[in-house]
Amino acid sequence: MQAFLVSLSTVAIAEMGDRTQLLSMLLAARFRKPWPIIAGILFATIANHALAALIGVEFAKYLTPFVLNLIVGISLVGMSIWILIPDKIDENENLDGRGAFTATLVAFFIAEMGDKTQIATAALAAGYHNLFEVVAGSTLGMMIANVPAVFLGHGFAAKLPMRAIHIGASILFAVLGVWFIAQAVL
């Protein structure tokens, strides 16, 4: 249950102001069809985070607990710095000509590749060795952050204290990173 809750909270907070949240707003403004967009986000996130978690779990099999916890900890501390750099998305991206679901599925899957939430999912899966809980938590965290963005469109971002959210997420990543590093040392 800890892997689920940590994955959920980490991804939900980290996703605030992330490029995929901005993509959600763009898609909502462009297509004005929230349910196919939400379905596209869900399926793209499950596929992307399951792939990341599988890689994380497989990678973890070849490392000692000391090295694994140290790598996960350092990765999370690195992400605590990365999250302070706000993401942007090109609003002129051509999504016309595709249905809302297909455009969202493809755009979201690609946008998540190498994103901090995907890397966090891989690191958490490696650290917790629980593929299902990590993917379920990170997917629900992604949905918690993006579903309101779909329904509220561009106006959503203007109402949130993004700098404070990024700082809070950075602190969360740093604390988790230090916790994993402490586990390695102990």
**What is the reported pLDDT for 92?**
46
Q: Over pLDDT 70: what percentage of the chain?
A: 86
Beta carbons within 8 Å of 139's beta carbon, 6+ residues apart:
42, 45, 46, 49
Residue indicated by tokens 């998540």:
112
Mean pLDDT, rounded, for 50-76:
85
- pTM of the predicted protein model: 0.74
**What is the reported pLDDT for 154?**
54
Mean pLDDT, rounded, for 82-91:
62
Q: Tell me which of 158 and 8 has the higher pLDDT.
A: 8
| Average pLDDT value over all residues in the chain | 83
**What is the reported pLDDT for 98?**
62
CB atoms within 10 A of CB 9: 17
Question: Which residue, among 79, 81, 78, 58, has the nearest Cα to 68 in the 3D structure?
Answer: 58
Distance between CA atoms of residues 102 and 128, nearest Å: 33
* Band of residue 39 on the pLDDT scale cut at 50, 70, 90: very high
Distance between CA atoms of residues 36 and 40, nearest Å: 6
